[in-house]
Amino acid sequence: MRIGIICYPTFGGSGVVATELGIELSKTGNTVHFLAYKMPVRLDISLENIHFHEVHVPDYPLFHYQPYELALSSALVDMVKLHKIDLLHVHYAIPHAYAAYMAKQMLAESNIDIPIVTTLHGSDITLVGSHPFYKPAVTFSINNSDLVSSVSESLKVDTLNLFNIRKEIKVVPNFIDINKYEKLQTTCSRDNLAQPTERIVSHVSNFRPVKRVHDVIDVFAKIQKKVSSRLIMVGDGPDRKSAEQMAKDLGIGDLVDFVGKSNDVYRILCSSDLFLLPSQKESFGLAALEAMAAKTPVIASSQGGLPEVVVHHSSGFLVPVGETDKMASYAIELLSNDDKLHQFKVAAFTRAKEFDIKKIVPKYIELYKQAFD
Ligand code: GMT
């Protein structure tokens, strides 16, 4: 099959899922064409059957806003015609599903019928998409996709509650390549990350307000009073500066490392003893799954899709949003007990295996088949 994948190229989960999916599909003889405004961060175009096309939006002074959707739908039409694409898989409703619908209509004029599979990832529904400015267009794009998937049951329920959806929504969870994690585990080294006597606590996100990074600092401030430990904050975004300031104000600036966007995330995760994800809401929480695949238990908020990933009292703990005292007390309990921590690490990895790429990608292939019916 020749598949076109449209995604955001950034460090965010939707781009990661789209990229890893495309790479896996390319290994089984499919040809995958990626279309985005920049090369997706995890994409390797030296791989066989993988192609990348950049959407270019010329800067024209007359426009106050440059028309990205227009450029994207035109690029889609060109890509489908030139490379004889069989199916488009768009990740994130805004504006990808909308642009794909426009491309589908344009292609129909050339007697080309291209199925569109839309995958909803989270903020396209819960944070941005449901805003009155976008709602009619998002509703329309979802209803006019040939097939729609969401990354968790929780996101499916939110979508049905927030929009007037006539389409069935299939749930296909996020995934990780457990083989890759198993191989990396043998090379995992915590050298230079912390002192041998310190526990390592970590957090990875884009530091948007929804991630509640100040809760991460607050929880860690309580942990380090009882357990010798160090916090590694990976990523960058709007709340980074104030989180750094908060750590300094609390007198723990020297115990918290803000390492920014890192290509060494795996080493940090596999060296960690605990991962914190206290988000206001996560449709799934790919970062939590990646931590678990690296044998690191997770303390997360009991919101959105996180309870579909983390098993309370087994692979981690789930706590209501904002209850940092409770999060800290679970963390201290775990980090002070070697046997319990070991049990949780094993359970985290066992749970992560349920989301192995080999189990999840066939579900997308099944969706593609249905899209042709
Ligand atoms: O979490 C982010 O801010 C990035 C965002 C994205 O759109 O890339 O992630 C969303 O999609 C991921 C992949 O499906 C999910 O694992 C994340 O939970 C989801 N983020 C939110 O719902 C806030």
Q: What are the C-alpha distances in Å from 363 to residues 33, 38, 160, 280, 355?
A: 20, 28, 21, 29, 12
Percent of the chain with pLDDT over 70: 99
- Residue 28: pLDDT over 90: yes
Q: What are 84-128's pLDDT values in tens digits? A: 999 999 999 889 999 999 999 999 999 999 999 999 998 778 777
Ligand 1 center to 284 CA (angstroms): 7
Q: Give the nearest ligand 1 atom to 122 CA.
A: 22
Phi, psi for 134 (deg, rounded to 5): -115, -20
pLDDT of residue 187: 84
Q: What are 302-328's pLDDT values in tens digits? A: 999 999 999 999 999 999 999 999 999
Residue whose CA is at the smallest distance from ligand 1 atom 9: 13
Token code pair at residue 180: 């890759």
Q: What is the mean pLDDT of residues 330-338?
A: 98
Mutate which of 121, 158, 169, 207 to test ligand 1's pocket (most atoms within 8 Å of Cβ)?
121
Q: What are the C-alpha distances in Å from 95 to residues 19, 140, 327?
A: 18, 12, 37
Q: Domain 2-175+357-371 belongs to what topology?
A: Rossmann fold (3.40.50)
Which residues approach ligand 1 with their CB closer than 6 A? Answer: 12-15, 17, 92, 121-123, 151, 174, 206, 208, 210, 281-286
Global model pTM greater than 0.85 = yes
Query: Where are the chain's structural domains?
Result: 2-175+357-371, 178-355
2-175+357-371 matches 178-355 in fold = yes
Q: What is the mean pLDDT of residues 159-181?
A: 96
pLDDT of residue 268: 95
Q: Give the nearest ligand 1 atom to 155 CA.
A: 22
Q: What is the CATH number of domain 178-355?
A: 3.40.50.2000
